[in-house]
Each structure stands twice: as C-alpha cells, then as structure tokens.
Structure 1
Amino acid sequence: MKRICILACIAIAGLTSCKKFLDTKPTDFYTPDNYYGTETQLQQALTGVYGDLMRPELYAQVMGFNFVSTTDEVMSNRTADGDARGLRYNYDASLVYAGYIWKFAYVGINNLNVLLLNIDKPKMDEGKRNIIKGQALFLRGFLYFILTSNYGDVPLVLRPLAISEVNMAASKQAEVYAQVEKDMKEAEVLLKDYTVVQSKFNDVVTLTAVQSMLARVYLYWAGYPQNNTAKYQDVITYTDKVINSGLHALNPDYRQIFINLAQDKYDVKENIWEIGSLGAAAGVVNKSGNDIGNFVGIQSAISATDTSSYNAAGWVWVTKKLFDAYEVDANSTATPNKASLDIRRDWNCANYVYNGTNPRVKAARPNIWQMCAGKFRREYVPQSIRNTNGTAGTYNINWPVIRYADVLLMRAEAENYVNGPGNAYTYINQVRKRGYGIQNGNVVKSVTVVNQGAGYTVAPAVTITGGGGNGATASAIVAGGKVTGIYLNSPGALTAGSYYSAPPVVVIGTFWTPGVSYNAGTQITNGGNLYTVTTAGTSTNTAPTHTSGASSAAVTGAVFTYAGQAATATATITIGNESDLTPGLSKEAFQLAIRDERMRELCFEALRKADLIRWGHFVTDMQEFAAWATNNGAGVTATGNPNGLQGVRNVMQRHVLLPKPTYELNLNRLLTQNEGW
C-alpha cells in the first residue's frame, strides 16, 4: 500500500507553492498538521476528491469506456488498440488501465481518511461541518463500492496509513459491503436536511443521492456473487425514500437529459447525482474536459473551415440486440429500418456519422451493427469550447452517476422479487411512457404513405401541422422516383402545450404558392400533381395545371414541367397507455422485461456489465449472445462488427472481476490475486 500513501502525499502537495524551496523555514508548505484548520480548507479538501472523480483514470474515461464497452448492448470496433485498452477481454493484470481504478480510488480514500481525521479541527458552524463530513463519508463508501464491484475482496483502509504500512490483507466482499452501508447510512443522517433544494446543484452529494446509491449498493449485494437476497427489501426501502421525497421526476424528453449534460445545464430532478466537468457548479473545481462522447460517441472529425464541427473517435458500435429491443411501428414503410415507437432508439443508436474534414459531411449509417453509440453527443457541447481554431477543444459532458429512471427500475426489480410483478408495473411503466414520449400526453405515432407518387428526383420535405400539437418532424425516403416511406424523426416537442389531441395533417413536398420565386430544379405540388421548375422565376396567380397529354404548364415568370403524381401520407397519434408493458406477466417473465428495459434506458452508462454479473450468468449470457450475433450478421466485415464479436467470444469466468494490479501485489505481500489471473 506504500504506492497509495506516496500518491496521497503528492495529492496533498498539490496545495503547495515551491517558490521558497531554499528557505530553512518554509512558510507556504501545507501538511496535515498545519492544514484543515478552517472551514474553507475542509471544503477545499473535499472539492479535490470531487475533482479527482473526473480524472481520465476514473469517470473521464476508464469507468465509462475501458472494460465495459463489450457487452450485449455495445461492442468495440477496435483490433489491437482495443486490446491495449481492455475493450475486448484480451488483457492481463499488468495492463495499466486495469490498475487505474484501484490506484485512484485508494488515493481518494486516503485523502478522505485524512479529511475525516481532521473534520473537528476548525471552529465552524456545526451544520456546515455535518454537510462536509456527510459528503466525505459517502464518497469513501462510494469509492469502496467501486473497488469491490470491480475487484471483489479489497483491503479496508479507514484511517491514514504510515509510510511503512504496506502489507494489508483484503477484506471479504461482504465486509466491504457492510462498510459501504455503514458510511452511507451515517452520511444519510448527516445530510438529512441537505437536498437539491439547498445545494441547487447535483454534482455534489445530497440526501437523495445517498439514498439512491444505497439502493444500488443493496441491489448489487442481493445479486451474484453475494446473493444476499434479503437486501431486495432494502432496495424497496431506499428507492421509496427517493420517490416519496417529491424532489425528483423524469424529464419528459429522454433526449434532453443528455443535451443538458453536454451543455452544463443542471437537471436536478432527473439526474440525482452527476459528476461535473469543465464549467462545474460553484464550489466544485473546473476540470479540463473529458473523453465522454469521444470513444463512446458519434464519429466525427474536426474541420478547419467548420467551427460547428467536433472530434469524436467512435470506438464502439451498438449491437443489433439493443437496436431490436426497441418497439417498431409495424405499419412503417421506412427502409432499411422501420421507424421506432420508442424515441430512445434513434437517440441511442445513431444512424449517421460525420465524414470528411473540409467540408464536414453528415453521412447516413444504416447498418445496425455499425451504428455509433449516440447517447452522449459532442455536437451539443457549447461551440466556444468544441472547436478552437480548427483543433479539438476541451469537451465537457457531465457524467450521470445515477438517474431517477434507474431508481424507478430498481424499485420495479426489487418489488417483483419480493412481492411479484403486480405493483412493479407502476414503476417500469413510468419509464416506458417517457421512453415513448407520452409521459404527459399523446404524440405522433407514425406517418404512413398513402400514395407513393412518381417523378421525384430528390427526397421532398415533409411538413406536419395541426392536430393541437407541434414539433413532430419526418423525412421522406425516395427510391425509383417514388416516396417509398416516411421516417418519423421526432414525435413532437414533448413540452407542455405541444401534445397532440388529433391526427395532424402531413404534407409531402412544397405546395405551389403565388408570388414566390422558384429556383430551377425545385419540385412543387399542385392539385395532386408534381412539377419541376425548368425555368426559374416568380409564380403568378395562375397555378400550374396538368391535363392528359400535356407535357408542361407554363406560368408567367417561371415554367413548371409536369413530373408525375404527388405523394400523399397520413399520420396517427398515440392513444392512452400504448407504451405500457404487457400485463399479466409471470415473475420470471417480468424479470426478463426488466433486463431489457434497463438496457433500453441505461445503455452506455457503464451499468450493463455489472447488471449481467449480478444477475448471475454473465459468461453464459455472453456466450449465448455471441452465437446469436454470429447468426445475425455481426461477423460480416462490410456490414457487421467482427472485431467486437471476437471480443465477446473472448469472455471467460475470470472477467467477472478485474485483476488486482501487479504493482500492488508486489508491494502488498498479504494480497492475493483474483481467480483466473
């Protein structure tokens, strides 16, 4: 453990100025003995731990990317470099990334132990002291939860260690869970009056953040390998505390959650606790950006001539299993992929990339196995830091550690386990309603082509108006001169006053309007006919017409040549509870539905692998998925993801846990390696 102590000393030394290093009596060098003497210094020490959570070795990269990017919802598309980062389950205990979580979790724990040892040192308001102490205890418990979730049995260090204290045996995972519970429960008491109302931000720990995370701790404790199923009742207890607090609610627009994270807009109702990045909340240090939305994001390159451009590697692609998990509109004629009734699909599974650099071009990506993970979109990061003089900027997307939707799904899962699915429907259906965009009303469900028309040379615009709502958008798909399908891009604005009470009117193309100047090549419709402007000019009040045998219709100032019949389409809207989960499921079937719903809702938030592990069949699940993926095109080079498929095939029992770092085993002679490593 010596390395931990050394790194902790370095962290404390970061408060030091060296301008007088030759003085025999330094006046500006801080040690634990002469620090922690004021409320400000206590807060600074706590803030430093918050800041370190957004290190590349933790949530700025490793926690959301390495070791969690090949499951049944997402797969790496890399070869050798993917192995070097731990993406394809082809690594050993010496891999530096495998030790980062261990190293920097213990650095944080050591700094928190020093803070807690000195918490009573300054004279200050006791209420403020309790807030600092409560957050420190929670963070220590949280870091141990990270450690035991990733490494299993780990040493419990609850006080600052001397430099000579190197050898320390690992505590059993059950003991680590018990300490996590103890720290978090004490934090709950100390933070009993500290909520998002008081903090006004959610990138610091508040009461409901503690309660939400305790529910997650209990959920993991109840699953494999501890299988302490009595903890499901504790999940119910703690999720109920959050739900009944009235402080949290689902954002009616799923997409807006992640736009807010990119734009540093704090949604304290949906995001119970997020880790802040550049431009963080008052009292939390600013960071220099992160890799969120980069490796797990929509592929894009910087364009020196396009200041709206951004850089993202897109090193992972979604799986067809995830894409197919979202319900589609059976009546959709869109190709090659039918439109989905669930707005989460097209946000999470991005069907485009940005190709080229000068100029940057948005290009379609219709192959499902090669769609980018679209949840965290760098294109929504403020332009001022996204692209600086044609080079990559300091991208800042906050990380959602735990969201209210997760609380509802944990509540549904625990309820089903303890009491069966009866009351569990209440919680899962809330998440599903929001996923379908109908949390507060009805939206456009689908747009169906009635007449494909003929003569189209480009895809016409699709306009949706009326019906009492607004915000619905769609795109036409043209093949062979006909409109073969309509793809619903957005079902509506999903804000108060924007929901639909009746089917809106769908207009395909541009209607002829008198007094409008038309460019050559423009296609317009009139009287059910499609015309192409062959001579540019301004239209008069005389509308273009087409009669049998006539090839064109001239209007003064512009010539409109008959192209064919205009396409038409109609829209339908949702009614009532169309998103609700199938009623009457058995306990076992409901649990399977929970598994799928967590994937739809929480994909790419670094939870899927841990979920598969706690459900007890991680290796078997990956083997079954590998066979399914093989049979469904994942191994096809042109349209699949053979590199990712190989990663899935590499999964073995030892990958349930990360290996304990080699350097730590060399220092700590009482530490033993995890099985299989």
Structure 2
Amino acid sequence: MKRICILACIAIAGLTSCKKFLDTKPTDFYTSDNYYGTEAQLQQALNGVYGDLMRPELYAQVMGFNFVSTTDEVMSNRTADGDARGLRYNYDASLVHIAGIWRYAYVGINNINALLDNIDKPAMDASRRNIIKGQALFLRGFLYFILTSNYGDVPLVLHTPAINDVNMPQVKQADMYKQIEKDMKEAEILLKDYTVTQAKFNDVVTLTAVQAMLARVYLYWAGYPQNNTTKYQDVITYTDKVILSGLHALNPDYRQVFINLARDQYDVKENIWELGSLGAAAGVVNKSGNDIGNFVGIQSTVTALDSTSYNAAAWVWVTKKLFDSYEVDPGGVAAPNKASLDIRRDWNCAGYIYTGTNPRVKATRPNPWQMCAGKFRREYVPQAIRNTNGVGGTYNINWPVIRYSDVLLMRAEAENYLNGPANAYNYINQVRKRGYGLMNGNVVKSITMVKLGDGYTQAPAVSITGGGGSGATGTAIVTGGKVNGIYLSNPGALTPGSYYTSSPVVVIGTFWTPGISYAAGMQITNNGMLYTVTTAGTSTNTAPTHTTGASDAAVTGAVFTYAGEAATATATITVGNESDLTPGLNKEAFQQAIRDERMRELCFEAVRKADLIRWGSFVTDMQNFAAWATSNGAGVTSTGNPNGLQGIRNVSARHVMLPKPTYELNLNRLLTQNEGW
C-alpha cells in the first residue's frame, strides 16, 4: 500500500506561573486549530482514513466475513464460535462486531469532516487540493453507503460535531442515498483528471473508482428496499463512463486477479479500486496483517520445517449450489467430479486442504459441501510476510472493493431491466468468455479416451503438446487396470502465444527410451503396448516387444514384462464463442442468468447477500436454498455442512438489515431500532 499511516502523539502541556493568563492554544499536540496547515498534513489526514478502512472491524475481517459468510454460495462450518462472530444469524444488537462497523465508519466520517472543514487552510496548488478534497468526499459517501446499506436509516453528520452533539436524528435511507450521490458526484468533478494512469496504482480513489462505485450505489438504490427503478438509467450512465474510458479491461486469467492481490501486484485495469495492505515505500512501516484468506481461505497450519506453509483457519465451506453452477464437460470422467469448462470453479471451490505438520501434505477434498473457499489463497503471499517456522508474522492480501467484471455485470443487469436482453448479452458474455479462458484464443476443452488400455497398476503420466499452444495439463484416472479418462486440470496457459489453434496431441504414459535406467515397478509404453519393469536395469538399443506375453529381456540386467494394451486419447479445443450465454432468453430468464453469473464471478467478495437483498428475495431464497440443501446432503455430518445449514435455517425477515448497536441506542436517544430487533 503506497500510503503513510498517520501517527498521533499526545503530550500533556506544561503550565507556567510567569504568565498572567493561561494560553489555551496548544503547542505540543495537534488539534484542528494547529493542524491541517500544510499540504502534507492534509495528505496525512487522508491517509489515515484509507488506513482505517483496513481495520479488522471493516475490510481486514468483518466486512468480508462476519455477516456475509452464510448464503447460498458459502456457509460457515462453525458452531458456537460462529454464533459469536455473527456467522449463523444468531446475533443480536449487542454483538461487538455489529458495533464495530458502525463505530469505525463514523470514526472515518468524523476524520473526513475535520479534513473537509480545513481543506482550504493551507496555501497549496489548487489541483492537488482538488485531488485530496475529491478523495475525501468520495470516502465520506462510501462510508455512508456502508452504513445505510447495512443499517438503513442512520444519522447524517457533515461537519465536526460539538462535544455535546450526542442526540442526532437518523436520516431516511432515500435521503442518505441523495447525500451519497452528492458527495460522489462532486468528487467526480474534482477528480476529473486524476486517473489510474496518473496515480499508477489503484489503492487510492481515482476518477473511474468514483464512477464505478456510483454505479453500484445506483444499483442498490434501484433495488429493495427503495425500489427507485429510475436509477437503472444512472447505472447505465456510470458503467458506460468506466467502460468507455478505455482505462479498464478484464485480466485474461481469472486466477491471476487474486494472485496479484496476494502479491501486492497492482492490476489497475481489472481492479478499479482495491484496499492495499502491504506497504511498499522505503522506510514506511507496513500495516498490520489482515484476515483475508484466513477465515475465508484454504485450510492449512504452519509446519515447522516447511517454509512454504501458512496458517489459515478455513471457517467457511462452499455450497454444492455454487459448485454445480459451473458448466462441466458432459463427456468428461468423474474423478470424483467432472472437469469444469469454467476455470473459475476449481479456483473458487478448492478441492484440497493442507494437513499434517512435518511434512505438510496436500490432501484432496472432493465433496463440494466441504470444499474450502479458494479465491483468496495465502499460499501466494510472499514468504517475507508469511507466518512460518513458528515465528509470528502477518498476511497481507489486498481487498478488491470493485472490479471491472462487476461493472460489466451491472451494465448487463440495468440494460436488461430497461430495454430487455438484446443489447445486454455483450456485457455478460465478456465475463463468461474470460471465465472459460477464451478472451484471446482457444484452449483445450476436453480429452476423449480412444483406448482405455489394460494392465495399469498406477496412474500414468499425461502430456499435452502441439496444437500451437501450451500449458494444458491432465491427470489419468485409473480404475480396474484401465485408464477410464483424463481429468483436464488446466485447459492451457492464458497468455499471448499460448492459445491453441488446433487440437494438441495427448500422450499417455512414459515411452521407452534407449540409454536410460529403469526402476522396478515402472510402467512404460512402446509400440502401443504397456510393459512393467520387473527387474531394474539400464536400457540398450533394443526396445521391448510383445510376442507371447512372456518377459522380454530387452535391457541389460533388467526385464520388461508385457502388461496389456496401452491407453490412447485425443483432445478437443474450444471454439471462441461457445462460452456465450444461451441466446434468445426473455427478460426474466436473462435476469436469472445475471444472478447466477454474479455468484460464479463475485463469490466471497461480500456482494452476494447484498445482491439477494436488493433483488428483494433474500429471505425467500434462503428458505428455498435450505430446503434444497437438505435434500442434497448438506445436513449429513460426515459429508455435508450441518452447522452451515442450521445458519441458513435461522434466516428471518429481520436479517435484511443489521440491528443498530445497543451502545449507540443508549447514547443517542433519537435513534430507533430496526424492525425485528
């Protein structure tokens, strides 16, 4: 994160008796009277607000975990401690995490108000002042967006309050949206020349970050509970501003988006605004670690002698609904799950965990109900900031507040609502094309067995070569001595020059090569036949042959024994448009497709619950999902997630909004509690 955290040091002022009157103006600590006097102090104050967004009470933990981790895409696997964190809809208004969001959103707002009240104080370049002011206004609007989307009607404070300003009236959500719009639109004007090209990184607010977030504000405003559908036109207006700016584009490899976040490598095209966590400038103290990739991550423990190990609790598991939403190769082999044509599935739904302590072992986790959420992977965090070898450390993964794919999906949804699907297909198909790895060319789609072979005692190696591309990998699935299929684990490298122009060649097994040593037990292929090395030795130029089924002493000091016919397979590559959404959908069917695509693309990014709420279907959808999950094995202790299912069953109408914190209700007598609390 390319920012400096503000440090405040408060000392007690000394008193002297040689003056007739007490000088009440402090000289050895900061107040609004003796601060904000320089551009640097304005910038430091702004930096402090950015830094506080990555507090545990906000995006370092709670905003991406506590109240958004039990929906139809992901469920908590916890019992009592899950209730203590608000994971299973058993919380009440006294829960500390309920108060944390409220408290630190208002702390940020108060600091921004102080900054804005003093923005004209120093003499400085006008363009620099506009950039600081524009970011501050946007952040105030953003914090109010957090508050009103979570708590509904909340107090509106636009200036530094007096010490006795305790009882503050709450403002209707519709009016709060108007204030958010006002702040962000003013920020848009002030930041009109401040783009990611100028900033060079994206963990500060730039012009398109304002425009993208305004589109999200309008989308929420258009939905439940305000249902101001006129705002869909504003969604189109502001998504178009981002799209037509030419500053943003999808990363061709979906997986790389999140690897970059773990490595603090800025992808300013895909991630329009992210919250930075690492710290990079020389001499700048890094921010403390965050829980991104911990509770919502792939299970692992630190192993004493393994420098690649990391710690992650994995307190949530994905749902079978999410897993099944990704398209699979209909002719593929189940191992135990069929390979997906959509590369997002196996990234988001991690089919493995790390077990053991010395050595650490990568163990398969094939049951979708018990798969970890794999989007944010701590294994990609640089070892310099990873907790290894039993030594305390920090994990720093940046949080993607809004991505370009979200802008495209918002554009499709608003277009469909106003005009139907005809012109909306373009936007959703861009996201789907990237999801299938087809943005810039074709990849391997499937591998079909020609001969299953016989006599295999172990899974043979698989290589995929030629066809003008590279990077495709597969794993042989052996049952009953036969290769029953090839599980396509990677369709190919998604970089220029690596896409396939024709079907590559699939080679199953290790082929006999003269002049090398063979160990006993190895299986090799020659002339379409499979052989097992029964006696180790160094090969000669005589290849093993099969005549009678007896052993063939084709190597010096070694014996090859015929095992059976060798397996063979062929590969099929994709056609560039086959990831496109089914054409000819009506308006209702297209809207459902949008809902499904948002889950596939944006899962675990803390938008699913908010989406279900704005669609006005949160409670009904959770009730329907609970019934479906029960019928599809979620309640089975050994293979499902009964703790998460119980959380879903706890959902009621009151969970559409968070309760207002008990402490705030006791302090501010003008607040009223949300319905149901």
Q: Determine the C-alpha separation between the residues in 1 that align with 2:282 and 2:42.
A: 16
Aligned mate of 2:8, from 5, 15, 33:
15
- Three-state SS of the structure 1 residue aligned to 2:412 is helix
Match of 1:136 in 2: 136
8 A Cα contact 1:334 1:484, kept in partner: no
Deviation at 1:162, TM superposition (A): 1.3
State the secondary structure of the residue aligned to 1:322. helix
- Alignment check: 8 A CA contact 1:51 1:286 kept: no
3-state SS of paired residue (1:507) = strand
SS in 2 for 1:240: helix
* Match of residue 201 from structure 1: 201
- Contact 2:352 / 2:364 at 8 angstroms: preserved in 1? yes
Partner of residue 19, structure 2: none
**Corresponding position of 2:424:** 424
| Helix, strand or coil at the partner of 1:675 | coil
How far did residue 457 of structure 1 move?
A: 2.4
* Aligned-residue RMSD, C-alpha: 1.6
Please give the per-residue CA displacement for 1:459-514, whole angstroms capped at 9, x wherever unaligned.
22211000000011111122222222211111111111111010000111211111
2:157 equivalent to 1:157: yes
The letter for the 1-side match of 2:674 is N
Distance in 2 between the 1:21 and 1:447 partners?
77
CA offset digits 1:68-125 (Å, max 9, x no partner) = 0000000000011100000000111011011111000000000000000010000100
Change (3 A) 1:626 1:659: same
- The match for 1:479 is 479
Aligned letter for 2:469?
A: G
Deviation at 1:262, TM superposition (A): 0.4
Contact persistence 2:6–2:47 (CA under 8 A): no
Structure 1: how far apart are the matches of 2:557 and 2:471? 35
Q: Give the superposition deviation at 1:169.
A: 1.2
Tell me what 1:236 maps to.
Answer: 236
Question: Residue type of the partner of 2:364?
Answer: A
Superposed displacement of residue 550, structure 1: 1.3
Equivalent residue number for residue 447 of structure 1 = 447
Q: Which amino acid aligns with 1:132?
A: I
Partner of 1:470: 470
The AA in structure 1 aligned to 2:462 is V
Structure 1 unaligned spans of 5+: 1-11
Deviates more, 1:122-131 or 1:552-561: 552-561
Q: 1:601 and 2:601 equivalent?
A: yes
Are residue 573 (structure 1) and residue 566 (structure 2) matched?
no
Cα deviation for residue 14 of structure 1 reads 4.7
Percent identity for Structure 1 against Structure 2: 83
Partner of 1:412: 412
Tell me which residue corresponds to 2:547.
547
Q: TM-score, normalised by structure 1?
A: 0.96
Match of 2:254 in 1: 254
TM-score (ref. length: structure 2): 0.96
Equivalences for 1:259-298 in 2 at 5 Å?
259-279=259-279, 286-298=286-298
CA contact (8 A) 2:145 2:177 kept: yes
Aligned to 1:145: 145
Q: Structure 1 CA distance, aligned partners of 2:100 and 2:166?
A: 19
Which residue of structure 2 lines up, in the alignment, with residue 4 of structure 1?
A: none
| 3-state DSSP of counterpart to 1:601 | helix
Where does residue 222 of structure 2 map in the other structure?
222
Question: How many aligned positions are there?
Answer: 665
Q: Which position in structure 1 is the counterpart of 2:621?
A: 621
Shift of residue 52 of structure 1? Answer: 0.6
User: SS of the residue aligned with 1:31?
Assistant: coil
CA distance in 1, matches of 2:213, 2:121: 29
Q: CA deviation at 1:284?
A: 9.0
CA distance in 2, matches of 1:415, 1:566: 54
User: For the Cα contact (< 8 Å) 1:89–1:650, is it kept in 2?
Assistant: yes
In the alignment, what sits opposite 2:312?
312
SS of residue in 1 equivalent to 2:303: coil
Secondary structure of 2:485 counterpart: strand
Name 2:522's counterpart in structure 1. Answer: 522
Q: Which moved more, 1:650-659 or 1:532-541?
A: 532-541
* Aligned partner letter, 2:481: G
Say if 1:545 and 1:553, in contact at 8 Å, map to a contact too.
Answer: no
1:70-149 equivalences in 2 (<5 Å): 70-149=70-149
Q: Is residue 673 from structure 1 mapped to residue 666 from structure 2 by the alignment?
A: no
| 1:537 alignment partner in structure 2 | 537
Using the alignment, how far apart are the partners of 1:552 and 1:398 within structure 2? Answer: 60
Asked whether 1:56 is paired with 2:49, we answer: no
Give the distance between the partners of 2:138 and 2:568, measured in 1 at CA.
59
Deviation at 1:283, TM superposition (A): 12
Q: CA deviation at 1:392?
A: 5.1
**Is the Cα–Cα contact under 8 Å of residues 48 and 285 in structure 1 kept in the other structure?**
no
Instruction: Specify every segment of 5 or more residues in structure 2 that has no aligned partner in the other structure, as ranges.
Output: 17-22
Q: CA deviation at 1:385?
A: 1.7
CA distance in 2, matches of 1:536, 1:629: 53
What amino acid is the match of 1:64? G
**Matches of 2:647 and 2:283 in 1, distance apart?**
42
Aligned-partner Cα distance in 1 for 2:522–2:241 = 60
Q: Which moved more, 1:272-281 or 1:190-199?
A: 272-281
Cα distance change on mapping 1:661 and 1:280 into 2, 3 Å:
farther
d(CA) in 1 for partners of 2:373 and 2:141? 31
Offset of 1:557 from its aligned partner? 4.3
Relative to structure 1, is the Cα distance of residues 157 and 301 closer, same or farther in structure 2, using a 3 angstrom cutoff?
same
Partner of 2:374: 374
Measure, in 2, the Cα distance between the counterparts of 1:427 and 1:280. Answer: 35
Matched, 1:343 2:336: no
1:142 CA displacement: 0.2
